[in-house]
Amino acid sequence: AGGSAPPPRAAMRPCSDDLSKQSRRASAPAIIGDDTLGDKYPLLRESRFSSRFNSAEIRGIRAALEAVDHQKHHLEEEGLSQVSFFFGILNVAVLTFVGARYPAWLWVLYALECPLLIGTWFFRMCQAYNGALFILDYCWAANLVFSVYLIVSLVGLVPTAAQLTLFLAFYTAALGPLGWACLALHNGLIFHSVEKSASLFIHMTPTFVTLALLTELEGIQRAWPGRFPTPTELSEVTILQLFTCGAVGYLIWLVPHGLWLLSVGINCPQHGYATVFGDLHRKSPMESIFRKFTGWTSLRGHAFLYLCVHAILCIGGAFPFAAACFKIRLLHMAFGVLLFTSAAWYGAGYYDFIAAKKYTKVLHELLQKSGK
């Protein structure tokens, strides 16, 4: 009766919140004490952080941060930086300004920029993918050849007899395989990536260069006399002449490239040298489609079918369309609008994905893996 009163129940038994806090304090140091983790995410070392989350929660946060860091590293490998983004936007701005204000100079800008941009792209391909052989693809090879043609034209060394043929070959390639590849490959206005910017440049820019050459031909003739065919010569060009120039130029590439691919090129990826065909065969449903419709299973057989499909699409579709664009200027202009609209759309979709959806997708995949 004379003893002290028993302590209140709350004092005798810690509440669940106190137990939770104690367990968090007891278990968190094992996670927070990780030197690597603490160096990478110093916030996890702070006591106010460890008092609010238990070890399992901190492990989940760490996994989420590491997943986000992995995606950030992937974008940096792709070329994402303030400098690359700046120059990507600047390049588009300069091309647009010259094309709108000084269209007669657009071909000069293309001729000088093309080797520089392709050279930068080539270095990137060699460094990232060991992909020096990508340069053998029609689109890259054609742009290099036509940039040389325009540079030689700039200094006035193209023979007069060859001017019309070379101009028509350039035009049909620009409005044919190059332009349609821009749509097929979903090229977008992606400013930070040299790889993607160069791909868009070689596929879309020739369409606008040839349009400027036709619409500003009289001014170009005054500024650089004797460099290009005269308006009279171009007015006399026939559909058959256009198609022939495009198809012959294409076959000059196709025959040696096909012989190389079927003999040596198909084995290059096995030795660590990436090729366009090897990349498409590995990433696209090409193999399953060829196997389904032909029953062919060999890699060489698929390479042969790839070359056949490529030739049919170019000779049977792209070059006739280019010839129609030459005769119908409005069709040429509409195609240019379509290419730019497509590039803007796919570029917007890309940045929408990496800015608003990609990290959510990564974390959802992380939750799915943790639930297995």
- Residue-wise pLDDT for 65-104, tens only, equals 676 666 666 666 666 778 888 999 999 999 999 999 999 9
Tell me the C-alpha distance between 331 and 325, whole Å. Answer: 5
Q: Calculate the alpha carbon distances from 155 to 152, 228, 276 in Å.
A: 5, 12, 34
Higher per-residue confidence, 63 vs 256: 256
Average pLDDT over residues 159-180: 97
pLDDT attached to residue 351:
86
The answer to whether 250 and 138 are in contact (CB under 8 A) is: yes
Average pLDDT over residues 236-264: 97
Q: What is the DSSP letter of 5?
A: P
The answer to whether 139 and 202 are in contact (CB under 8 A) is: yes
pLDDT attached to residue 44:
52
- At 241, is the pLDDT very low, low, confident or very high (cuts 50, 70, 90)? very high
pLDDT attached to residue 294:
94
- At 179, is the pLDDT very low, low, confident or very high (cuts 50, 70, 90)? very high
Could you give the percent of the chain with pLDDT greater than 70? 75
The answer to whether 147 and 111 are in contact (CB under 8 A) is: yes
The answer to whether 335 and 210 are in contact (CB under 8 A) is: no
pLDDT attached to residue 238:
96
Model pTM?
A: 0.79
Average pLDDT over residues 247-267: 97
How many Cβ atoms from other residues are within 10 Å of residue 228's Cβ? 22
The answer to whether 182 and 118 are in contact (CB under 8 A) is: no
Give the angle 248-111-226 at the CA atoms, nearest 5°: 75
Among the ranges given (60-64, 167-171, 314-318), the one the predictor scored with the smallest mean pLDDT: 60-64
- At 262, is the pLDDT very low, low, confident or very high (cuts 50, 70, 90)? very high
Higher per-residue confidence, 158 vs 13: 158
Q: Is 3 helix (H, G, I), strand (E, B) or coil?
A: coil
Query: What tokens were used for 260?
Result: 């190389």
pLDDT, tens digit (0-9, with 9 covering 90-100), for 24-74: 444 444 444 444 545 555 555 555 555 565 677 666 666 766 766 666 666
Q: Calculate the alpha carbon distances from 23 to 15, 17, 45, 61, 170 in Å.
A: 12, 10, 17, 18, 73
Q: Classify residue 272 as left (phi > 0), alpha (psi -120 to 50) or beta.
A: left
